[in-house]
Structure formats: C-alpha cells, structure tokens
Amino acid sequence: MPITTSELVNNLSSSRRDFLKACTIAAAALGLSEAMIPRLVEAAANPQRPPVVWLHFQECTGCTESLVRGSHPDIARLILDIISLDYHETLMAAAGHQAEQQLQATLEKYPGKYLCVVEGGIPTKDNGIYCKIGGRTAMEILAEVAAKSAAVIAIGNCATYGGIQAADPNPTGAVGVWDLVHDVPVVNVAGCPPNPISFLGTVLHYLTFKRLPPTDKLGRPLFAYGRKIHDQCERRAHFDEGRYAEQFGDAGHLAGYCLYKVGCKGPATFSNCPAVRFNDVGVWPVGVGHGCIGCTEPGFWDTMTPFYERLPGIEIPGGRGIVTSADSAGKKILGIAGAAVGIHAVVGIGKRILKGKSDEDK
Ligand code: FSX
Ligand code: SF4
Ligand code: F3S
C-alpha cells in the first residue's frame, strides 16, 4: 500500500534541538522578541496541525524544490512538522483519480479550516484552458479550493503576480492569486523562488496569532519584505563611496564592490535576502557576486530587464568622499520627497508600496 503524504511527513520528525533552532530562526526572521519565542514554539508544537492543500499551476516547482532541499533540513523539516500536508502534487504518493479523491476528501473534511498554498500562475485567457488538471482549469480549481479555505498563501512570483508566464506578451493571460481570490485573506510570499524562511515565518505567524501577518500594499508580509535590499546590502558602503564593479571579473568585482553598474536591482527591490540569506551556507545573490534581479517584485521579467544593465533613473555617488545616505538614495530611487526620479515608470510599483500601510496601521 502506498505511503500517504501525512505518513511520510510524520516520519520526518525533527529532534527537539533542531526544532527549537528552526523556531528561533523563524522568530528572528519574524522580528519577534525573545519573550514571544515560547508562544511560537507552543503553536508550532501543537499536535493539531493545520491541514494544507498545496496547488500547482503554471510554474517550475522551484518554490517546492527550494523548500524541501536537503541543504536546510531543519527549516524543511519544521515546515513539514507543523502542517499536515494533505494534498501536494509533487510530494504525495497518490496520482490520478486517487489524487483527485484526496483533494475532494480534504475539502469536505476541513471546510473553512485548511490553508490553501498556491504555487504557480493562473492562466485566464480563453477561459483558462492553458492549464488543466484532471479536466478542470486552474481557474476552476483555485476558485473551489480557495473559497473553502481559511486563508491562501501564494508562494513564489508566479502565484503572487503571474511570474514569467505573465511576462510580455503574456500569451496565456497569466495572473496571480490575488487577482482572482477576493473573499478569503491572501498573503503574497514573493520571490522566484522565495526564501523558505519567509514561508515558514508566514505559517508560524498564522499558527501563533491565528491570522496572516501584516503586509504591504503588494500583499507581502512586512516582516520579510518591509525593507529594500539596497538598504541592507553588505556592499552598500561601496555604492555610497562610488566604488563599483564596471564589468564581471574586473578588479572592482573581485574586490567585492557594488554591483549597481552590472545591473543590480537591489535599489528597487524589497526583500530580506541580505539578512536571512539562503541555504545552510548563508549565501545570497549579491553576496556571491551577482546583482539582485528583483525577483520579489511584480512583473520583474519585464520591469527589471535587461538584467545586466544598470537600473535607470538613479543618481549614483560621484566618487570617493561623496556619500549618499541610505535615505536619500532611497528617496531618489523611489521618487518621493519631490525627487524627479520616478521609478514608477521603470518598475511600476513604487507608488503602491509608498502609499501602503501595513494591516497593523489600519
Ligand atoms: Fe515561479 Fe515557483 Fe520562480 Fe519557479 O514553482 S516563482 S518560476 S523559481 O518556483 O513558481
Ligand atoms: Fe548592494 Fe546592489 Fe545596492 Fe550595490 S546596488 S549596494 S550591490 S543592493
Ligand atoms: Fe531575488 Fe534579489 Fe533576493 S534576485 S533572491 S530578491 S537578492
């Protein structure tokens, strides 16, 4: 008899020490005080794990891959320990009719109680015929599964904003979840793929506080997407002092100088990558010598390309001794305080972010 996903997941129980370590990492990513850690651990250890239905639509499965890769086993294990993954097409043993039955059984057993995680964009052109599973369109499946869920977590740039499928000319009319789902809360864990810790933090926040975390106007949790890459970057001092890599492999690049001139989009991208980093070796794109390509932003395949050309509309410091503060650089980049830069035209998002208030402010 095939092992079910739940049985598989149960077999992955982590040691207490690993469990606490992963909880502490997540608490730090969430910006919680130490005093909150016991509450978070209690929520994470609750044997009543929330059922999760994980849908796959137009995507590369990189979001799931990055989540379950062995390079950060504590995080992956904790995620699989704190939720009951009742339906996940990549990880579940069931296939075909058996899988469809499992989906329906979960919806019937936990109406209004399960979390719906969506990975992948949803094609809407021609009634959504460009992505069908078991004879139903992604639009139909999403409409049913989201409507009966307690909340939806869109994971990845595809599920949040349409991703690469939505790049011009967007032949299938791909959109993100929040373009279609309006009756249940939706949170956007953006990135291509997102950092697993941002997903874990979102789930732990939900378990601990019984609601999704506060977000910006793009639906992204503020704990993970509240700050610009540029304002947390270890190369920022080089930017301020006018020290740049002019091309890959040159002396400036080898010296670890700022990557703005070789295309880094960190000045227009909101994410915790420099602080949280990826995998157990603590790397992130800029840290290993490649510019940020803006993968947490809507439409980045159009708005952040060409990836290796400098972001237009940014005044850069002229050289040694001329220092631009983080704030003034940010204002120039995002076109606030009367600066005539207007990144809106470039990335089309700044206005929404700057107008945004967190849910907690409301
Ligand atoms: Fe999209 Fe997820 Fe990019 Fe891939 O599946 S966010 S293409 S890395 O991984 O949806
Ligand atoms: Fe870092 Fe990129 Fe900003 Fe340079 S432009 S400081 S590499 S985020
Ligand atoms: Fe994506 Fe930029 Fe982080 S490319 S992974 S947002 S550094």
Where do the structural domains in the chain lie, given as residue ranges? 13-225, 227-323, 327-357
Name residues whose C-beta falls within 8 Å of residue 205's C-beta, 6 or more positions apart in sequence: 30, 211, 212, 213, 221, 223
Lowest model confidence (mean pLDDT) among 4-18, 258-272, 288-302: 4-18
**CA nearest ligand 2 atom 4, residue:** 258
The string of pLDDT tens digits covering residues 106-116 is 999 999 999 99
Beta bridge partners, 117, equal 54, 153
| In the predicted structure, residue 324 carries a pLDDT above the cut 90 | no
Q: Report how far residue 230's alpha carbon sits from residue 245's, in angstroms, rounded to the nearest whole number.
A: 16
- In CATH, the number for domain 227-323 is 4.10.480.10
**CA nearest ligand 1 atom 2, residue:** 63
pLDDT value, residue 98? 94
The string of pLDDT tens digits covering residues 331-348 is 333 432 222 222 222 232
pLDDT value, residue 331? 39
Share of the chain above pLDDT 70, in %: 82
- CA atoms in the 13 A half-sphere facing the CB of 138: 29
Architecture of domain 13-225: 3-Layer(aba) Sandwich (3.40)
Q: Report how far residue 182's alpha carbon sits from residue 177's, in angstroms, rounded to the nearest whole number.
A: 9
- Among all chains, which residue has been given the structure tokens 């291509």? 192
- With a 6 A CB cut-off, is 138 part of the ligand 3 pocket? no
Name residues whose C-beta falls within 8 Å of residue 283's C-beta, 6 or more positions apart in sequence: 277
Q: Pocket residues for ligand 2 (CB within 6 Å)?
A: 229-230, 233, 235-236, 239, 258-260, 264, 266-267, 286, 291-292
What's the chain's average pLDDT?
84
What the block records as the tokens of 50 is 């929330």
| In the predicted structure, residue 120 carries a pLDDT above the cut 70 | yes
Q: Report how far residue 88's alpha carbon sits from residue 169's, in angstroms, rounded to the nearest whole number.
A: 30
Residue whose C-alpha is closest to residue 228's, from 195, 267, 277, 255 = 267
Q: 71-85, 183-197, 345-359 — which one is most confidently predicted on average?
A: 183-197
| In the predicted structure, residue 125 carries a pLDDT above the cut 60 | yes
Tell me if 326 sits within 8 A of 231, measured CB to CB: yes
What the block records as the tokens of 347 is 């990335």
Q: Report how far residue 313's alpha carbon sits from residue 345's, in angstroms, rounded to the nearest whole number.
A: 10
Per CATH, 13-225 and 227-323 having the same topology is answered no
Share of the chain above pLDDT 90, in %: 62
Lowest model confidence (mean pLDDT) among 91-105, 181-195, 338-352: 338-352
User: Which of 269, 279, 347 has the most ligand 3 atoms within 8 A of CB, as the residue to mutate?
Assistant: 269
Q: ∠ CA(142), CA(145), CA(150), 5° rounding?
A: 120
Q: How far is CA 327 from the centre of its chain?
A: 25
Closest ligand (CA of 244): 2
Model confidence at 25, pLDDT cuts 50, 70, 90, reads confident
- With a 6 A CB cut-off, is 195 part of the ligand 3 pocket? no
Residue whose C-alpha is closest to residue 32's, from 320, 41, 47 = 41
Ligand 2 atom nearest to CA at 286: 7
What the block records as the tokens of 108 is 């019937």
Name the residue type at position 263.
Answer: G
Question: Which region holds residue 233: left if phi is over 0, alpha if psi is between -120 and 50, else beta?
Answer: beta
Mean pLDDT of 297-313: 95
| In the predicted structure, residue 154 carries a pLDDT above the cut 90 | yes
Mean pLDDT of 168-177: 98
Q: Pocket residues for ligand 1 (CB within 6 Å)?
A: 59-63, 119-120, 156-158, 163-164, 192-193
Model confidence at 19, pLDDT cuts 50, 70, 90, reads confident
By CB atoms closer than 10 A (0-12, 13-18, 19+), residue 22 is: buried
pLDDT value, residue 12? 42
| In the predicted structure, residue 4 carries a pLDDT above the cut 50 | no
pLDDT value, residue 8? 37
- pTM, 2 dp: 0.84
**CA nearest ligand 3 atom 1, residue:** 295
The string of pLDDT tens digits covering residues 239-273 is 999 999 999 999 999 999 999 999 999 999 999 99
Closest ligand (CA of 267): 2
Ligand 3 atom nearest to CA at 229: 7
The string of pLDDT tens digits covering residues 44-93 is 888 888 999 999 999 999 999 988 875 666 777 778 888 999 999 988 88
The string of pLDDT tens digits covering residues 206-247 is 999 999 999 999 999 999 999 999 999 999 999 999 999 999
